[in-house]
Chain A
Amino acid sequence: MFPIFKPAGDSAIAIIFGDEIDEEVNKKVHAVAEAIEEAAPEWLIEVVPTYTSVYIYYDPLKVSYSEVLEAVKPFLSAESREEKKRIIEIPVAYGGEFGPDIEFVAEYNGLTVEEVIEIHSKPLYRVYMLGFLPGFAYLGGMDERIATPRLEKPRLKVPAGSVGIAGKQTGWYAIESPGGWRLIGRTPLKTFDPSKSPPSIVKAGDYVKFVPISDEEFWEIYKQEWGENNDRAC
């Protein structure tokens, strides 16, 4: 049945590899996306890998839909090269001013704050995809024991680096934005920096490990990352 090919308008094609969130399906997605990107045919505009699909954005003035279809078929056999698995450590100061909702998360799940931190920082989370907003990583593998519903009323401003939980999902806000996640901590790392290439410190297919740090360590790293003069309050 899979893969399925579908036009997504006149300038994109979707290749769908499965119909549920699954690590093996996602590995295939990234293997194929990378192979097509590396081949860089002249009509290719960009490739966007997601949980279960690869979207190929192409220039319809240079190539037709059926030609793209033929051209991508040889890449479908691409094998995942994940033996070179990248693990990105994300230091997180949990609780206090950095994670104002951690007590709620603990109470909601009948745990102590320390248990929440331990459960949250234990797994190796897979980055299934990046999307939605710049640098936003969709992580898989959170322990359901700390799953917590979103805020009823989203905050107007969540600082960049804030780490949160929304339902069974966890992740961090790469840029300052409004948001409804339960905030449990914050990373001092500049996880998205448009002056760098690539702009995001994680890419799809990476693995993430949250490492608890103290408030002092937070400010030390924060200064290195964001500069002395950056407003602490923002």
Chain B
Amino acid sequence: MIELVNVPSLMTIQDLGRTGYQKFGVPVSGVMDEVSARLANYLVGNEDNTPLLEFVLRGPTIRFHFSAVFAIGGDVDAKLNGIPINPWESYWAKRGDVLEVGTLKSGMYGYIAFAGGIKCEPILGSCSTYIRANFGRALKSGDTLSLGYAILTEKEGKKLPKEFVPKYSNESEVMVILGPQEEHFTEEGIKTFLSSTYEVTAESDRMGYRLEGPAIEHSEKGADIITDAIPLGSIQVPKSGKPIIMLADRQTTGGYAKIGVVARIDVPKVAQTRPGGKLKFRAVSVEEAQKNLKRRETIMEAIKMFLLGKLRAYKLKVFEEELIAFTKVEKKR
């Protein structure tokens, strides 16, 4: 069991989301930054979808009532019993140990993964918190959480190679696939969207990020559409012309025209942008977006295997370019 001694910001239990129920109006939810969350889980030997803690900007203080292995995902200083520890590394905590996680130095969402995951009663197949429907709730100081069973030996001391540590920026270029309602915008409107810089406003949360910037012009078809589905990363443009990027807790359907959808590979980049941060959009084809996503997933799989001790990593220098190569670890007989 772990005790949340201090929870200074919004903190929830999340996994990779609730799929299969959007046709009943149930939002997907899930972690805002799947890459950081999955890497944190890999560090403690968990699967991709294991429930973990997600916090906004400021981390919690946690007391361990049993031994546990944990890892922090995020650009943050932390202390275990007052001694500084690193993010992206797994540690063994003993009964009575206290973990203090500080404030994120970059990025918006941080993660704490525990070997075995956080125990929870799934709702519609997922442990993701969705506050609006009382699927779980925001965690608060004094709450206790149980952890799932895990063999802890050989799970601590794993370190994510620094080449793979996510970097969070407050100025990003984001790939988008235009449509599906591009005909609701003038040519000029689409040009404005693709050539301007948009700022993330303070009116942003797990549901969506509202952007400020040059207004996008609608065509004579207008801003409203017959209510239609909203995939992750959809960029809706209401009458104001100011885009809204729909994220994890987005409603399943909506009536504003979508000018484009953020490529899945770039959703974490958007999610980690703080209010005041800037985004620029670049149109890509579906094929290009999918190719990039596949490449990332190959790397994610290799990192997972590396942290499980099934792959070995080598640094190579090829024509001045540094590369990481993975090879299989042969089992000794």
Report the minimal beta-carbon distance from A59 to chain B, rounded to whole angstroms.
10
Contact A199 B234 (CB under 8 A): no
Known A-B contacts A14-B229, A46-B20, A177-B132; A7 and B25 likewise in contact (beta carbons under 8 Å): no
Least CB separation from B294: chain A residue? A61
- Give the interface residue-count category, chain A: 35 or more
Q: Which residues 133-162 of A have a CB within 8 angstroms of B?
A: 133-136, 138
Contact B124 A131 (CB under 8 A): no
A33-B228 Cα distance, complex, nearest whole Å: 14
A224-B261 Cα distance, complex, nearest whole Å: 45
Q: Which one, B180, B252, B287, contacts A8 given CB within 8 A?
A: B180
Contact A131 B231 (CB under 8 A): no
Residues of B within 8 A of A134 (CB): 21, 24-27, 133
Scan A9-47; emit 1 where CB is below 8 A from any B CB, else 0.
Answer: 111101010011100000000000100000000000111
Residues of A within 8 A of B290 (CB): 10, 60, 64-65
A122 in contact (CB, < 8 A): no
Residues of A within 8 A of B119 (CB): none
A20-B225 Cα distance, complex, nearest whole Å: 10
Q: Which of A48-56, A93-101, A102-110 contacts B (4 or more CB under 8 A)?
A: A48-56
Least CB separation from A137: chain B residue? B25
B187 in contact (CB, < 8 A): no
Known A-B contacts A51-B227, A134-B133, A194-B135; A9 and B23 likewise in contact (beta carbons under 8 Å): no
Q: Which one, A14, A46, A60, A194, contacts B264 given CB within 8 A?
A: A60
Report the minimal beta-carbon distance from A22 to chain B, rounded to whole angstroms.
10
Least CB separation from A6: chain B residue? B180
Report the minimal beta-carbon distance from B159 to chain A, rounded to whole angstroms.
27
Known A-B contacts A8-B180, A134-B24; A55 and B231 likewise in contact (beta carbons under 8 Å): yes
A124 in contact (CB, < 8 A): no
Q: Which one, A45, A51, A136, contacts B19 given CB within 8 A?
A: A45
Report the minimal beta-carbon distance from B262 to chain A, rounded to whole angstroms.
7
Least CB separation from A60: chain B residue? B290
Residues of B within 8 A of A190 (CB): none
A174-B294 Cα distance, complex, nearest whole Å: 39
A189-B17 Cα distance, complex, nearest whole Å: 28
Least CB separation from A128: chain B residue? B227
A200 in contact (CB, < 8 A): yes
A209 in contact (CB, < 8 A): no
Residues of A within 8 A of B133 (CB): 133-134, 175, 194
Contact B251 A194 (CB under 8 A): no
A52-B228 Cα distance, complex, nearest whole Å: 8
Contact A135 B24 (CB under 8 A): yes
Listed in ascending order, the chain B residues whose CB lies under 8 Å from chain A are 19-27, 123-124, 132-135, 177, 179-180, 226-229, 231-234, 251-254, 258, 261-264, 286-287, 289-290, 293-294, 297
Known: A50-B229, A50-B253, A131-B252. 11 other contacts (CB 8 A): A8-B177, A8-B229, A9-B231, A10-B286, A11-B231, A14-B228, A57-B231, A64-B290, A133-B132, A134-B25, A134-B27
Listed in ascending order, the chain A residues whose CB lies under 8 Å from chain B are 6-12, 14, 16, 19-21, 33, 45-53, 55, 57, 60-61, 64-65, 129-136, 138, 174-175, 177, 192, 194-195, 198-200, 203-204
